[in-house]
Amino acid sequence: MTRARDVANIDGILTTTGDTYFASAAATPARLGIGAAGTYLTSNGTIPSWGSVSAGGMTLLSTTSLTGVSTVTISSINQTYQNIQFSIENVGWTGTTYLRVRPNDTNTIKATAFEGTVVASFSQNLATQANYSSPAVFTYIIDNYASTTSIKPLKVYGAAGLDTQFFGGGFWNATTAITSVVISNGAGSNFTSGTVKVWGIK
Amino acid sequence: MIRIHNAETNEVIDREMNDEELAQLNEGIADAEAQREAEAAKAAEKQAILDKLGITAEQAKLLLS
């Protein structure tokens, strides 16, 4: 094939704005029409095509109201993410007590918390301190939560009673995968408000 | 009452607690009370030392800074 014939062949294949020229097989020129907006050139290992990029970031797995019950259990948490986040929003309770968050409903947390300027001990059951007022907002992130062979780092931050800030970290001292979480408060009373969102993080 | 939310099926069940769940809740209440008492005892001990020294908590902080 001469160079002139090559150019003519390309002209015949590339018929539309945005076309890409490629070989669909050895010595077999072909066109790939432009992909939809926001798609990226990808491959199936043989030929190119336009595809979407897999979403990373956070995926909302569940949303649960706390209102009107003393205990909430969120079970069957999806095990296909890297990290898990529990976003505990606008939690209300009567009086002062602590918020109790127990992954797998067990006491296997070892952590230290920094409350305001005071370094405070951090209860093993991932509770915050004893005398918090509500409303409270807390975010708990546990890395590698689905692992069955490793302990799991965690961090928590938030605020309670509109005046106490809180930041803590430590680890989940078990190799068991975390498949559920139980939320209650130290008074054992019904929550007056609040929502728990479970996020999977890639 | 306990609320159980299956995150896979999105099924939500509200029901009375069984004995085991009630025991867990009561354990949490006892934990909170123990923690509250420990914090109160620590605060009282700290105040007793401050009283003995005749200084305020703020003055103690200044001395230690």
Q: In terms of domains, do A22 and A108 share one? A: no
Mean pLDDT over A42-48 rounds to 92
Asked whether the beta carbons of residue B28 and residue A184 sit closer than 8 angstroms, the reply is yes
Q: In terms of domains, do A86 and A43 share one? A: no
CB neighbour list of residue B25: distance below 8 Å, 6 or more residues apart: A70, A71, A184, A188, B17
**Nearest CB neighbour to A72, from listed B5, B6, B29:** B5
Q: Classify the complex by whether its ipTM is higher than 0.85, answering yes or no.
A: no
Q: In terms of domains, do A125 and A45 share one? A: no
Q: In terms of domains, do A107 and A155 share one? A: yes
Q: In terms of domains, do A191 and A140 share one? A: yes
Q: In terms of domains, do A137 and A47 share one? A: no
Binned at pLDDT 50, 70 and 90, residue A96 comes out as confident
Beta strands in chain A (DSSP E): 20-25, 28-32, 40-43, 48-51, 58-65, 71-75, 83-92, 99-103, 109-115, 118-122, 136-143, 152-160, 164-172, 181-185, 193-201
CA dist., res. B2 & res. A62, Å (int): 17
Q: In terms of domains, do A82 and A20 share one? A: no
**Interface subset of A 93-122, CB within 8 angstroms of B:** 97-98, 100, 105
Whole-structure pTM value: 0.71
Q: In terms of domains, do A45 and A66 share one? A: no
Q: In terms of domains, do A84 and A119 share one? A: yes
Q: Is B18 on the interface with A (CB under 8 A)?
A: no
Determine the structural domain holding residue A149 and report its residue range: 58-201
pLDDT digit string (tens) for B6-56? 999 999 999 999 998 898 888 888 877 887 788 789 889 999 999 999 999
Q: In terms of domains, do A9 and A109 share one? A: no
Asked whether the beta carbons of residue B1 and residue A190 sit closer than 8 angstroms, the reply is yes
CATH number, residue A103:
2.60.120
| Most confident among A75-84, A101-110, A131-140, A169-178 (mean pLDDT) | A75-84
Q: How many domains, in total, are found in chain A?
A: 2
pLDDT digit string (tens) for A99-153? 888 888 876 565 555 555 444 444 444 555 556 677 788 899 999 999 999 999 9
- Cα–Cα distances in angstroms (integers) from residue A16 to residues A31, A33, A35, A147, in the given order: 9, 7, 12, 50
